[in-house]
């Protein structure tokens, strides 16, 4: 049994281009699917957030329409409620990477607000990448990659990744409201975004980095991480 670090957003909103705050946080499926997979495989999970604040679930992600019906939505909410790790996060600043076998970043719009500009998260990502440990990042989680810089260059420049796409953001109704789009900003940073079909599972593996495009990619991503953990 080994420890897996979940790095999660600490905010409950995403500031849009007009200054309004869209209520958000982390996306339920992107936390629950890997959480269940890792726990079933016998691994311990530790949650870290900026400042050690308890992460907020995006209420929209608990809706029946995003969970294949109300029964599954209720089950997902139940898993989150029972996941004591989520209620007792450590501070991102206190993370010692040596204690973990793998690192995982779920998405939701929250990371667009805080992790995209969080220097502690950026340093952790750079260290994780250099360590060769499995590093999984899904959906809007790759916003955190934007804060990972070495000598003025993004640490992930030249890496192939999957991330929430412009098409998906458009279909979500946020593309024209956002300050910036994830696919565009990653591309500008020199990261090679590999675009899959909207909303279909799509993961990309490049060295020790495993990334997923959208919520449906979180379970396949967790399976890929477990393979690398043996």
Residue-by-residue pLDDT tens, the chain, 230 positions: 799 999 999 999 999 999 999 999 999 999 999 999 999 999 999 999 999 999 999 999 999 999 999 999 999 999 999 999 999 999 999 999 999 999 999 999 999 999 999 999 999 999 999 999 999 999 999 999 999 999 999 999 999 999 999 999 999 999 999 999 999 999 999 999 999 999 999 999 999 999 999 999 999 999 999 999 97
What is the pTM (predicted TM-score) of this model?
0.98
Q: Which two tokens stand for residue 55?
A: 């992460």
Residues in the chain: 230
DSSP state of 116: G
The angle subtended at Cα 215 by Cα 193 and Cα 9, nearest 5°, is: 85
Specify whether the CB–CB gap between 103 and 5 falls below 8 A: yes
3-state secondary structure of 54: coil
Specify whether the CB–CB gap between 16 and 177 falls below 8 A: yes
CA distance 100 to 116: 22
DSSP class per residue in 8-38: ----SEEE-TTS-EEE--B-HHHHHHHHHHH
């Amino acid at each position: 049994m080994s420890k897996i670090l979940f790095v999660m957003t600490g905010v409950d909103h995403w500031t849009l281009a007009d200054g309004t705050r869209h209520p958000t946080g982390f996306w339920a499926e992107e936390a629950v699917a890997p959480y269940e997979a890792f726990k079933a495989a016998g691994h311990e999970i530790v949650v870290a957030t900026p400042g050690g604040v308890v992460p907020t679930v995006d209420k929209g992600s608990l809706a029946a329409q995003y969970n294949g019906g109300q029964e599954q939505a209720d089950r997902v909410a139940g898993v989150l409620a029972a996941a004591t790790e989520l209620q007792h996060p450590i501070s991102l600043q206190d993370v010692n990477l040596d204690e973990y076998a793998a690192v995982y970043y779920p998405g939701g719009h929250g990371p667009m607000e805080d992790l995209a500009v969080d220097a502690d998260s950026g340093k952790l990502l750079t260290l994780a990448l250099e360590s060769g440990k499995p590093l999984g990042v899904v959906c809007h989680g790759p916003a955190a990659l934007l804060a990972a810089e070495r000598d003025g260059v993004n640490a992930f420049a030249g890496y192939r990744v999957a991330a929430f796409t412009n098409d998906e953001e458009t279909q979500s109704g946020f593309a024209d409201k956002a300050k910036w789009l994830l696919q565009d900003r990653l591309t500008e940073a020199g990261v090679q975004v590999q675009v899959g079909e909207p909303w279909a599972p799509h993961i990309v593996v490049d060295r020790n980095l495993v990334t997923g495009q959208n919520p449906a990619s979180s379970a396949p991503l967790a399976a890929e991480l477990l393979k690398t953990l043996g």
